[in-house]
Amino acid sequence: MTRKTLKHSVKFGTVWSATALIVAAALAQDVPGIEICTRESRLDRRTSCLQSNVEFLQQVVTRNALDAQQKLAAANREIAALKEQSTAAAREVAALKDALAAMEAKIGEFLKTAAQPTPDAKRQGK
């Protein structure tokens, strides 16, 4: 290997080792969650472990309940908006039906007047 390649390999190895140490340190921290409390032989430590599990579960239940309430509120807002849109669309359809009926009436009147011959047309036809 050339010196330059060796130099980069050493730098890469050093960076990789430092990253591995940081990750290992992060994993070693106490992460809240469910712990297996049956491993504890001392009663006070087992009680503490169980209490920690209960607190964690209460936090999870509370967080999930809040998330569910927020989603439900958002869904209710969306339903209300859709109902308003539906009502507005129904009003527009009714207005269009009325306009169509008025147009059909005008067309009917126009056809009646167009079908009736005028007095001048009667004279020219004879």
Ordered mean pLDDT values, 10 residues apiece, the chain (126 residues): 60 58 49 78 89 94 98 98 97 98 95 77 57
Domain limits, the chain: 11-113
Q: pLDDT value at position 116? A: 77
109/118 Cα distance (integer angstroms): 15
Q: pLDDT value at position 89? A: 98
Judge contact between 51 and 37, C-beta under 8 A: no
3-state secondary structure the chain: CCHHHHHHHHHHHHHHHHHHHHHHHHHHCCCCCCCCHHHCCCHHHHHHHHHHHHHHHHHHHHHHHHHHHHHHHHHHHHHHHHHHHHHHHHHHHHHHHHHHHHHHHHHHHHHHHHHCCCHHHHHHHC
3-state secondary structure of 34: coil
Structure tokens at 126: 């004879």
Q: pLDDT value at position 69? A: 98
Q: pLDDT value at position 29? A: 46
